[in-house]
């Protein structure tokens, strides 16, 4: 088993406190991180929002999104598919180098809701191992493909807890995979966002030029509305710090 780094453990203490706050579990932080907990949005984070990009890396879109994020001084979270990490390791290293957060989004992007425990475990572990080999960091966020939790992933005895991951879903989605209109993606996101939102977007899984354009538009707009665009771990940390 791969142990989290000391830096990850410190970050997780913050996450655990934020989760306890978010779930009303009381004032005292739990003794250990609540692995396997489901995070859809984060209350108490003020005017902070987390943009998340799934299914990549996929070029040229991921690099184009990274350029926009760098230009605008914004951080985001990328939920990576193992097969694509293998294809684009340099892009994965750039994501980490530029201060963004990464999460595991399975090896092959099959739904884990209807496969055996062992198949699901292998989808998660294989991706963790490769991400760690490429970046030096083992991810502690997991987003199941299609958001499908099934009966095995969540809870204290679930697979995510056993593999020491938080389950990160989302509170805002605009079906960017079913439209090619950047206006629909940007306007739909802006309309639905509120403080603490986690926004689902896709940089992989198909042609995503419209997501690149939408990201440029909505990032600027949300900043003008006073939103800070941060990573999911930062969102949890902010909520914890304000508790
Ligand atoms: Ni996905």
Q: Kindly give the distance from the C-alpha atom of residue 146 to the centroid of ligand 1, in angstroms, as a whole number.
A: 5
**pLDDT of the residue at 28:** 42
The pTM for the full model equals: 0.87
CA dihedral 78, 9, 144, 169 (to 10 degrees): -70
pLDDT of 233 above 70: yes
Report how far ligand 1's centroid is from the alpha carbon of 30 (Å): 31
Distances, alpha carbon 24 to alpha carbons 5, 15, 19, 160, in Å: 28, 14, 8, 21
pLDDT tens column, 32-52: 348 999 999 998 889 999 999
pLDDT for residue 21: 45
Residues with a beta carbon under 5 angstroms from ion ligand 1 = 54-55, 145
At 13, the pLDDT band (50, 70, 90 cuts) reads low
Q: Please tell me the distance between residue 228's alpha carbon and the centre of ligand 1 in angstroms.
A: 25
Euclidean distance between CA atoms 77 and 85, whole angstroms: 15
H or E segment and range at residue 233: helix 232-241
Superfamily of domain 34-241: Glycoside hydrolase/deacetylase (3.20.20.370)
Is 202 a catalytic site residue?
Answer: yes
Bridge partner residues of 168 (DSSP): 39
The predicted-structure confidence for 160-208, as pLDDT tens digits, reads as follows: 999 999 999 999 999 999 999 999 999 999 999 999 999 999 999 999 9
Q: What's the mean pLDDT when you consider all of the chain?
A: 89
Tell how far the Cα of 239 is from the centroid of ligand 1, in angstroms.
Answer: 26
Using N-to-C axis directions, what is the helix angle for 209-224 and 61-72, rounded to 10°? 10
Going from the Cα of 110 to the center of ligand 1, the distance in angstroms, rounded, reads 9
Is 54 in the active site?
yes
CA distances from 217 to 25, 58, 69, 76, 213 (A): 38, 21, 11, 15, 6
Q: How far away, in angstroms, is 91 Cα from ligand 1 center?
A: 18
Supply 217's token pair: 């538009």
Tell me the two tokens of residue 168. Answer: 């990160």
CB contact set of 75 (below 8 Å; sequence gap of 6+): 69, 99, 100, 101, 229, 230, 231, 234
pLDDT in the model for residue 11: 59
Q: Give the residue extent of every domain in the chain.
A: 34-241
Which is nearest to 56 in space by CA: 75, 80, 77?
A: 80
Q: Which helix (H) or strand (E) holds 34?
A: none
Cα(59) to ligand 1 centroid in Å equals: 16
**243 CA → ligand 1 middle, Å:** 32
Q: From the candidates 54, 55, 128, 176, which is the catalytic residue?
A: 54
Q: Identify the active-site residue in 100, 109, 202, 210.
A: 202
């Amino acid at each position: 088993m791969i142990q989290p780094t000391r830096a990850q453990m410190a970050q997780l203490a913050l996450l655990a406190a934020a989760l306890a706050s978010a779930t009303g579990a009381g004032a005292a932080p739990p003794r250990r991180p609540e692995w396997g907990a489901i995070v859809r949005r984060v209350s108490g984070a003020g005017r902070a929002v987390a943009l998340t990009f799934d299914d990549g890396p996929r070029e040229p879109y991921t690099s184009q999104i990274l350029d926009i994020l760098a230009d605008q001084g914004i951080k985001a979270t990328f939920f990576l598919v193992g097969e694509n990490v293998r294809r684009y390791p340099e892009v994965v290293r750039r994501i980490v180098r530029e201060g963004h957060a990464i999460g595991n989004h399975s090896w092959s992007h099959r739904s884990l809701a209807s496969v055996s425990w062992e198949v699901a475990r292998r989808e998660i572990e294989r991706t963790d191992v490769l991400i760690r080999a490429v970046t030096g960091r083992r991810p502690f966020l997991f987003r199941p493909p299609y958001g499908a939790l099934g009966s095995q992933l969540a809870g204290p005895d679930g697979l995510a807890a056993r593999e020491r991951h938080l389950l990160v879903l989302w509170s805002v989605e605009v079906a960017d995979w079913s439209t090619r209109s950047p206006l629909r993606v940007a306007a739909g996101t802006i309309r639905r966002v509120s403080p603490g939102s986690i926004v689902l977007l896709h940089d992989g899984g198909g042609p995503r030029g419209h997501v690149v354009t939408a990201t440029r538009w909505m990032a600027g707009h949300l900043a003008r509305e006073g939103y800070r665009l941060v990573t999911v771990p930062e969102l949890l940390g902010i909520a914890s710090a304000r508790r």
